[in-house]
Amino acid sequence: MQASEAQMTEMIVAMQSQCQYFRAATESNPKDDVSYANWGSMLMHLSMVSEDQTTKKKYLKEAIERLERAISLNPNSKTHEGELAYFNLGNAMYFNFFLEKDDATAESHLTKAKEKFAVAMAKEPGNPMHTQMIEQLQTAHEQRRAAHEQLARLEGKTDEEKKVEILNLQRQMLESVVDSHRKAVESNPTNAANKIELSKACFELAMLCGRNDAKKLFGEAISSVEAALQQSPLDTSAPWLHAILTQAQSYAETDKTKSRELMAKAKSEFDSVLRKEIDVTKREQLNKEKDIFNTSMQNWKEWQDAEAKADAMEKANKKSPAAAGKGALESGNEEIGGFVVLVGVVAAVGVAAWFLTRKR
């Protein structure tokens, strides 16, 4: 899908532009630990969305170097979104664990990742993302083995078959993440942070689902973030997340009137958050993130429209049950190549979509 490839390139260029901004900031002030933390975090996400393995490893190596520099300047260093550099460093090393083919080298990456996560947990013991990651580490080897087995199964398959396999794998992984967050909310219903994380996970899963399932997930996500806002009205991340989810609903809605109403509501919510943000740099970053979000949602809608068109053609042509039995992820898969990458490679590192992980 040509538009998808162009949008993917546009997103990567935007992320690279952010890296250049952080580079300039550190050159201007070599002791700016926050810019180093931001730079490392962005490089890690560039690694995640890169398809070429050499490029992945290059970005990941640079990410680790920048995050280590941030920590050397300030052991409590955080990104502008409030994420501990130690936690992101652990994520980068955990990602290395999955990429490495040699078992002994991979084990050394895992050991280092565990050490960084332990430090992050000690600094912020109540952070649900930290807790979830510690739980994930218990099955790290099984996850890595499954990932490598999946890659082996892709050998010899066509590009389109690979896309479908990867999309199904991503969805299975996210279903597990959503289930984990639901259990966390059930076990501790007064924890607003758990509800926020559930909302993010539901959004990411919805982006890999058909329109009907996506609408249900968007609805669950909005209910969850609204409950979080009631419990923690001063949470500055929730209003932005609510705006994103409201706009997502507008793209999923087939009723044009309702879609326009939801779009207008989302715009009002976005504008409200931007007006309250007094930091010019952060406001510019929010606007860029909103643009990237719109790109991915437009691409998602194109995918859904293509699926609906394919289904209508199947019914019109009265195809055999065998031909009509393709799932939503199989039919029309030539349309989703760029989309699969655009929404992000969902690796087991447990990092939420980068434009949603804001804890200002």
Digit-coded pLDDT (tens) for 190-204: 888 889 889 988 998
State yes or no: pLDDT of 339 exceeds 80: no
Closest CA to 109 of 130, 94, 87, 91: 94
Find tokens 């969805």 and name the residue: 171
Beta bridge partners of 78: 84
Q: How far apart are CA 230 and CA 100, in angstroms?
A: 44
Closest CA to 34 of 106, 97, 83, 91: 83
Q: How far apart are CA 10 and CA 18, in angstroms?
A: 13
Amino acid making up residue 135: E
What are 28-66's pLDDT values in tens digits? 999 999 999 999 999 998 888 777 778 889 999 999 999
pLDDT attached to residue 228: 92
Instruction: Over range 334-351, report the average pLDDT.
Output: 34
In 3-state terms the chain splits into helix, strand, coil percentages (rounded to 5) of 80, 0, 20
Q: Specify the pTM.
A: 0.66
What are 261-294's pLDDT values in tens digits? 999 999 999 999 999 888 887 788 788 778 878 8
Beta bridge partners of 84: 78
Please classify residue 322 by burial: count the beta carbons closer than 10 Å to its beta carbon, then call 0-12 exposed, 13-18 middle and 19+ buried.
Answer: exposed
